[in-house]
Amino acid sequence: MSVFTGAGVAIVTPFNADESVDYEGFAKNIEYQIANGTDAIIVCGTTGEAATMTEEEHLDVIRYCVKVVDHRVPVIAGTGSNCTRTAVYLTKEAEKAGVDAALVVTPYYNKATQKGLKEHFTEVAKAVNIPLILYNIPGRTGGVNILPETMVALCKENENIVGVKDATGNFSQLAKLMSLAKGEVDVYSGNDDQVVPLLSLGGKGVISVLSNVAPKQTHDMCEKFFNGDVNGAMKIQLDALPLINALFCEVNPIPVKKAMALQGQAAGPLRRPLTEMEPEHAAVLEKELKNFGVL
């Protein structure tokens, strides 16, 4: 059984002016997501600025998210690291906190081989009993790419490695993965502009940045596809493209935090080295939020 199907939000971590975590605002954002049909909450991922958190902050945010969600939808915690021991520690602590699954990114900076990737993910998997969704995003990991053969082998050899968030943008590789997997690997889109194409190859859904500002539309796009309304899903995908492009015109999560602030959601400042959005890009983003009907 899949951890979830449909639209999971890669949720932002809102900060106060002093860059401490805005827990009150975070709770409101979670409630907004659940009220608008989001199918899962993915906490402390790239969009949640986990890379700038201490381990204590990281785990506190995960624990708080689990408490607020209270089993209404699955909570998936980002627990990856370029250090295998750290990834094991964070994943074990997330399991203790009560998460439904963990999202474990490929090790960055070290540039592991395929053998190294297998050993890294296997060690994390054997340390816990919760499901793991691997996160393949070569653009943020020095080009490190989980090859289809490696992904399938990991799922076959580790019962709790169940799927992958694919942000490669490489549909030839994705099609090969689906062909080799024969249904044994749950695949989620890591790119908001490629959700419907990925679903057409057998994907289970999306782990979405767009969902922070358009949760209902992102959920509906997936739901329509699964219900057989492919044209309806396609329309939402295509109508959303200008907004998606604006949300990624600067590195994530710079634009989405600006978009949430424009909507009146809790977002707060970015932690360095991220900086505030350029005014000309912010103007385009505001326009596209209005055009998509979410501002």
Q: Is 290 a catalytic residue?
A: no
Q: Is 135 a catalytic residue?
A: yes
Residue 65 near residue 41, CB atoms below 8 Å: yes
| Cα torsion through 273, 243, 262, 275, rounded to 10 | 10
Residue 133 near residue 186, CB atoms below 8 Å: yes
Nearest Cα to Cα of residue 205 among 223, 217, 193: 223
**What tokens appear for 184 in the block?**
């044994």
Q: How far apart are CA 290 and CA 32, in angstroms?
A: 19
Q: Which residues pair with 103 in a beta bridge?
A: 78, 133
Peptide bond into 279 cis (omega under 30): no
Cα–Cα distance list, 87 to 42, 108, 196 (Å): 16, 12, 31
- Gyration radius of the chain over CA positions: 18
Peptide bond into 148 cis (omega under 30): no
Q: Phi first, then psi: what are they for 276, rounded to 5°?
A: -65, 155
**What tokens appear for 66 in the block?**
């689990």
Distance from chain centroid for Cα 227: 23
Q: Which of 115, 118, 135, 224 is catalytic?
A: 135
Residue 163 near residue 134, CB atoms below 8 Å: yes
Q: Which of 165, 204, 224, 257 is catalytic?
A: 165
Q: How far apart are CA 176 and CA 147, in angstroms?
A: 10
- Catalytically active residues are 135, 165
